[in-house]
A and B are shown apart, each in its own frame.
Chain A
Amino acid sequence: MVGMSLLRSAAAFAARLGPLKAGNNAANIITRTIPRTDKVAIRWGHGKKLFVVKPSDFYDRRFLRLLQYYILLTGIPVVVFVTAVNVFIGEAELAEIPEGYEPEHWEYYKHPITRWIVRNIYDSPVKDYEKMMAAIQIEKEKADMRMTQLEVRRQMRQTGDGPWFQVPTLDKKLIDHSPKSSPDN
């Protein structure tokens, strides 16, 4: 008890010596805890907050953010549209061709978007077939004409009685026969 009063008077004396020093308050000079600088935090939430030195990831994160944005800008409407088509219109069902009925060329496909594309954007397969056959026919006629031209060339060169391979020569009326008519000139 005496020691306690001695300590208290010592604390008052120390407070009197340095009143401006922080922590030298007479009230708590005995009862204050010694500050431990290695274990500072009062609540153990996420540990000590550190400033981690690492290279900037701003550009990477910006790239990923912009990528996400531009993909989703058209991605989400497309997904919503396709889902709506699948839910509200739905795929076609297989059926037998009724008697005497010629189905249109898009009625051979199942998904409604495929049907729309085939109906409005693509040509009908009959038309494609005919286009191909027309191209083949034109090429065949060209090849036949080239073959006949080669044959005609050959014939005309050989027989010589056609309009091709005629070599222009002088007119035979220009020949002066006078030195040939009298042999001993």
Chain B
Amino acid sequence: MPKDFNKEAYPEPPRQTPVVDKQTALPNPALILSKVFYYTVDLPVTTFRDTIDSVRSKNKLVYYHQKFRRVPDLTECQEGDYPCYYEAEMQWRRDYKVDQEIVKVVQERMRACQQREGNSYQQNCTKEIQQFHEVTKNFQSRYGDLGAYASARKCLMKQKARMMAAQAQSA
């Protein structure tokens, strides 16, 4: 996980290290193995990483996440104004990608919760499960069967069909 992850969304489970109550004089093989692992694998890898980082730290590059301005939607474009259509289409595509990533994040949270709780996940992670269901239902209703050649126009038409169905049902 990156260093700046959301601590509330991924809470750490309580530590369960048992109290050491050694009653024999024999050496603990688990302790020996862990020390062996530390000295043969962990320490060399960490020192290698530190040397590489010290070499790298002279020229530190940064990158940013681009923020895009909001442009008029497809519904606010004049008919036949093709540049406006293009801008709305690009904005819709960016929003589609963002929504896909949102679904992935929510899914990841549910999976992390299930991994944490073990066999009692169904009762302990109700919030995550309910959030996942809601988010996927909304995603499906908005972008559901648009297919590979999805476009802003098709999404708008789908929304229109949804609204018509809702009106027909309520009437």
Contacts and interface: CB of A to CB of B under 8 A. Distances in A.
Contacts of B63: 92-95, 107-110, 115
Interface stretch (B51-59, B101-109, B124-132, B142-150): B51-59
Interface in A84-102: 87-97
Contacts of A133: 83, 86-87
Given A132-B86, A137-B83, A88 B56 contact: yes
A140 interface: yes
Interface residues of B, number: 20
Contact of B61 (A89, A136, A137): A89
Contact of B62 (A89, A107, A129): A107
Contacts of A95: 62-64
B90 A96 contact: no
Contacts of B62: 92-95, 107
27 contacts: A87-B52, A88-B56, A90-B59, A90-B60, A92-B62, A92-B63, A93-B61, A93-B62, A93-B63, A94-B2, A94-B62, A94-B64, A94-B65, A95-B64, A97-B64, A97-B65, A103-B64, A103-B66, A108-B64, A108-B66, A109-B63, A112-B61, A133-B87, A136-B86, A139-B82, A140-B80, A140-B82
Given A93-B63, A115-B61, A139-B82, 6 more contacts: A94-B62, A103-B64, A108-B64, A112-B61, A137-B83, A144-B80
Interface of B: 2, 52, 55-56, 59-67, 80-83, 86-87, 90
Q: Pick the 3 closest A-B CB pairs, nearest first.
A: A90-B56, A92-B61, A92-B63
